[in-house]
Amino acid sequence: MIGNLVYSVLCLIVLVVLVMPFTNKKIERNLEIFLFVMGVLSVLVSNQMSMELLLKALEEPFMIAAAVLVFGLLFKKYNEKISEAIHRIQQLMPHKVLVFLIVVVLGLISSLITAIIAALFLVEIVGVLKLERKNEIALTIITCFSIGLGSALTPIGEPLATIVVSKLGVDFWYLFRNFAIYIIPTVVALGLFAAFFVADKGAEGESTRSGESESYNDVIFRAFNVYLFVMALTFLGTGLKPVIDHFVLGLPSEILYWINMISAVLDNATLAAAEISDKMSTRQITAILMGLLISGGMLILGNIPNIISANKLDIPSKEWAKVGIPLGLTIMMVFSVPLLYMAN
C-alpha cells in the first residue's frame, strides 16, 4: 500500500519534470540525463525497481535508437543526393504547397513507415529547406503533431497504437475505421495551417544547421541521446504509474480527455496501457486516445518524433512550448465538442 507521502513525492517529481527544463538552462542542455535521474528517482520512490524493469528499460529503446542510427548514417552518406532532390522540389513547387505536403504526407505515411522514420525524414527535409529559425521550428512542431496523430491509424505506426489493438483484441484496421474520421481531417487542417503560418524566407533566414555538415560522431551521439531519452521515459512511466492508477483511472471520459494532457510529459503508450480496457465504450476509448495523441505534441517529452526532431534541430524546451502548447490546446478545445458531447 502506497502512502500519502509517496504520492506527494511522485506528484512533486511530475512538477519538477514539467518546470525545470524551462527554468534551468543547464538542465535544458542535458535533458536526457535530467529525465534519466528523475525516472530512476520515481521508480525508487514508488518501489517499482526490479530486474524485469531494468531489462525492459535497456531493451525498449534499442529498436528506436537503432533506427535513428541506421537512417542517420544513410542520410549522412546520401546527404548530397537528398539535398539536391529536396532543392529541386523546392524550386518547382510553390512554398505553401510544399509545406502543406510535408505536414500531410509525413503525417499519413507515418502509420506505414512508423513515426520514428517519418521524424527522421522530417529533420532531413527541414534542414535542407534553410528556413528562418522561427519558421523552421514552427514547421517541425506542426509536422510532429501530424506524425503523432497519423501514426495511430495502424498498429505499425507507434507503440500506443500497437498497445490499443492488443488490449482491445481487435483487427488491424480497427483504428483506421474508428479514428480516421478524426485524424485525417486534423492532419489536413494542420497542413493548411502550416502552409499559411510558415513563411518562406529562403536563404535570408538563419537555419539551424547554418550550412554545417554533421559528422558521423554526431550521428552516433544523437542515437545514444535518443536511447537514453527513451530509457528515461520508461523509468518515468513505470515510476509514476501508481499516481495514474490512484488519481486518474475510473474518471469519466470527459475528464480523462483533459487529464490525458499529462502525456505531454509521460509516455502515451504507458498511459494507454494503463487506461484502455475492452469493457469501455467507443466514446470512452476515443476520448482517451485522442486526448493522448493531441497532447503528445505539446512538449518535447510527449512523443518520440518530438524527441528526435528537437535533438537533431537543437530546439529548446521553451521554443517548443511556445508553439506546441497553444496549438495543442486549440486542437483539444476543437475536439472536445464532437468527442465528448455527441452520441456514439
Q: Could you tell me where the beta strands, DSSP code E, fall in the chain?
A: none
pLDDT of res. 208: 47
pLDDT of res. 210: 44
Query: What is the mean pLDDT of the segment spanning 179-196?
Result: 95
Q: Are the CB atoms for 201 and 131 separated by under 8 Å?
A: yes
First-residue to last-residue Cα distance in the chain: 38
The better pLDDT of the pair 253, 56 is held by: 56
Q: Are the CB atoms for 278 and 167 separated by under 8 Å?
A: yes
Task: Give dist(CA 338, CA 86) in Å, integer.
Answer: 39
Is 233 exposed, middle or buried, given 0-12, 13-18 or 19+ CB atoms closer than 10 A? buried
Task: Give dist(CA 242, CA 227) in Å, integer.
Answer: 25
Instruction: Indicate the range of 117-126, 177-186, 224-233, 243-252 predicted with least confidence.
Output: 243-252
Count other Cβ atoms within 10 Å, centred on residue 15.
10
Q: Could you tell me where the beta strands, DSSP code E, fall in 282-334?
A: none
pLDDT of res. 114: 87
Q: Is the pTM of this model over 0.75?
A: yes
Task: Give dist(CA 256, CA 275) in Å, integer.
Answer: 9
pLDDT of res. 270: 67
Task: Give dist(CA 253, CA 112) in Å, integer.
Answer: 29
pLDDT of res. 320: 95
Using DSSP, state whether 11 is helix, strand or coil: helix
Residue 168 Cα to chain centre, angstroms:
23
DSSP structural state of residue 244: I
pLDDT of res. 108: 96
Q: Are the CB atoms for 308 and 126 separated by under 8 Å?
A: no
pLDDT in tens, 119-165: 989 998 998 888 899 999 999 999 999 999 999 999 888 878 887 88
Give the domain ranges of the chain: 54-198+246-341
Residue corresponding to grid cell 532543392 = 87
Instruction: Indicate the range of 8-12, 29-33, 43-47, 273-277 predicted with least confidence.
Output: 273-277
Count other Cβ atoms within 10 Å, centred on residue 180.
17
Residue corresponding to grid cell 514539467 = 18
**Torsion of the alpha carbons at 29, 138, 145 and 336, rounded to the nearest 10:** 110
pLDDT in tens, 87-118: 898 888 999 999 999 999 999 999 988 888 89
